[in-house]
Chain A
Amino acid sequence: MVSFIIRRLVSMIPVMLMVATGVFLLLKLTPGDPVGVILGPDATEERRQALRDDLGLNDPLILQYVRWLGDAARGDLGDSLFLNQPVLTSLWERAEPTLVLTLLSTLVALSIGLPTGILAAQNRGKWLDMGSMGIAILGISMPTFWLGLNLILIFAVTLRWLPVAGYAPLSEGLWESLRYMILPAITLGVAQAALLARMTRSMMLDVLSAEYVRVARAKGLRERRVVYFHALRNALIPLINVAGLIFAALLGGAVVTEQIFNIPGIGRLLIQAVGRRDVPLVQGTVLVIAAIYVLVNLIVDIFSAVLDPRLRQT
């Protein structure tokens, strides 16, 4: 098991290197001047050159790349050009909103998706199944931003029950923070709930038709116990895989959702950093997101391997 984990960790390295190099090249190919954005429209050319020198932007590309890569390997992602603070600090400060948003949307996804999927599987072929699966396809087809706008229109602008946008940190109280997060979490969670419902249903159907479930039934166990105890537990293995996928999708979806609801999270940070050509910040952010993505996949694989030893060989 340990060697499996080590092997998997080592295999992360080339992927991360790929990502790092890719981001660096992409950003260097992108025209744009961070200095012009920082110093404002009236700055003199002399001053712009001086700041570029200060920031090391006039150095040869390869030198910039090696320097950045070396620092990154030591865990130093450099300083944001625009925000004038270490990239890791910028990321750390944005972690809370994004994490809260991601967790709450996962909660939304689980609490809607799982029961719907189970119910649909139990009622396979009946109107409940077909209806809920129809809605699920609709759910994955609806763009998150359109759902978000509809929610804003109804609950924020018209009814004024919840704020249109913004963020209150958890330190200001759970309810205050939740008030701001309800709409974004639903916006982001619904599509994942739909996805989860579809997956849960199909896995439940796989499992319900499996041998041991038939045995359990034959033993005269009550249907409910069969479904919730035997079947669901076994369906959880593939569902862990799905959870990994959903987490990754949420990170990507957070970009758009944070933009609509003006949430100061990692997604919005990234979009703004691209607009300001804040190269170290973009590099650092993408690298960290990619690392999280790869790590989540690793954790998923480890879980699966623990539950199913056959997987350790591959």
Chain B
Amino acid sequence: MAITADSLAGAIERRSRWTQLRLTVGRNRNVLVGGSLLLLIVAVAVLAPVLMTHDPSFQDPGERLLAPSSEYLLGTDGSGRDVFSRVVKGAQLSLLVGIGVATATSIIGGFIGLITGFVPRVDAPVMRVMDGLMAFPGIILAIGIMAVRGAEISNVILALTVVNTPRMARVVRSVVLGLANTQFVEAAKSSGCTLWRILGVHLLPNTLSPLIVQASFVFAEAVLGEATLSFLGAGAPPEVPSWGGMLSESRLFLSQASWTMIAPGAALTFTVFALNLLGDGLRDMLDPRLRHR
């Protein structure tokens, strides 16, 4: 295979970009630590079938509320289920909901933000709806949606997406508003570019950084939100191991078996911590204007 000048230049550019990214990430401890911790959780979720020492749903009445031991690493819960295996299994739900909500919110909120920021005609009505949604306490809105739609994982994702979309839309909208009158957009407009082309080619790439930053926080919010809903009994169906659900069940045995409360809570805090750290780091790295040093 012949090496053309073009491909060589491309390779060099790619290489230097990669190096640059590596350097930036390397300099940004938050991204490094947060990202590694998140990878660890992803690994746990993916390797769950290997890691789990017991069937997380198997109830063994004879083995109820056992303290942590070599057999049950984190003890057993009120139904005699292995807490360690349930915590591992619970990572899957948390990540599934988190990724689902972050993706859906980015797409829907990003789209709304682009449109409202650039097309003044739709701005006012759509943003009033967003204001209305934001005036609900998020958790109440989510509970309401769950009551209408029923206890399904997909509905949890839907409810939390509705809750988180307005803020995403606002972030993207404010970036677009700042760009709408800049020269390059004016130039694109005057050269007869279609609306979609301007949005997609000129504006979208500029919103990506704040969008990614916001998405990482939405991810964290969604993990917390799912746990809160499950804790209140309005989340995923109870047969799906969920950290929030485990915490809810643990309350009955607080004085007797505190490990049923400590383990899922620690896993939850750890995950959200990793995501917040990553979000902070990404913000510093990608979005200097919002930088909080």
Contacts and interface: CB of A to CB of B under 8 A. Distances in A.
Given A141-B276, A143-B272, A146-B247, A290 B254 contact: no
Contacts of B255: 153, 157-158
B147 interface: yes
Contact of A137 (B148, B258, B277): B277
A7 B133 CA distance: 21
B144 A274 contact: yes
A279 to B, nearest CB: 12
Interface size class of B (residues with CB under 8 A): 35 or more
Contacts of B133: 22
A16 B135 CA distance: 9
A286 interface: yes
A293 B136 CA distance: 8
Contacts of B228: 143, 145, 256
Contact of A198 (B147, B148, B262, B292): B292
Which of A124, A198, A271 neighbours the largest number of chain B CB atoms within 10 Å of its CB?
A: A271
Contacts, number: 116
Contacts of B258: 153
Contacts of A31: 148
B31 to A, nearest CB: 13
Given A18-B132, A26-B144, A153-B261, A137 B232 contact: no
Contacts of B277: 137
Interface string B202-243: 000000000000000000100010011001100000000000
A260 B143 CA distance: 16
A140 B232 CA distance: 20
Given A29-B148, A256-B232, A137 B254 contact: no
Interface string A280-314: 00000010011001100000000000000000000
A306 B247 CA distance: 46
B131 A286 contact: no
Given A149-B247, A153-B255, A22 B132 contact: yes
A26 B140 contact: no
Nearest to A142: B269
Interface in A123-146: 124, 137-138, 140-143, 145-146
A30 B148 contact: yes
Interface in A244-262: 248, 251-252, 255-256, 259-260
A137 B128 contact: no
B129 interface: yes
A271 B220 CA distance: 24
B276 A290 contact: no
Interface string B270-284: 001101110010000
Interface in B94-112: none
Contact of B293 (A19, A22, A158, A205): A205
Interface string B111-151: 00000000000000000110111011111100111011000
Contacts of A30: 144, 147-148
Given A137-B276, A274-B143, A259 B232 contact: yes
A30 B262 CA distance: 35
B250 interface: yes
A143 B147 CA distance: 22
Interface string A139-177: 011110110011011000110000000000000000000
Interface in A1-56: 14-16, 18-19, 22-23, 26-27, 29-32
Interface of A: 14-16, 18-19, 22-23, 26-27, 29-32, 124, 137-138, 140-143, 145-146, 149-150, 152-153, 157-158, 198, 201-202, 205, 248, 251-252, 255-256, 259-260, 270-271, 274, 286, 289-290, 293-294
12 contacts: A18-B128, A32-B147, A145-B231, A146-B265, A149-B261, A150-B265, A157-B254, A201-B292, A252-B139, A256-B231, A256-B232, A274-B144
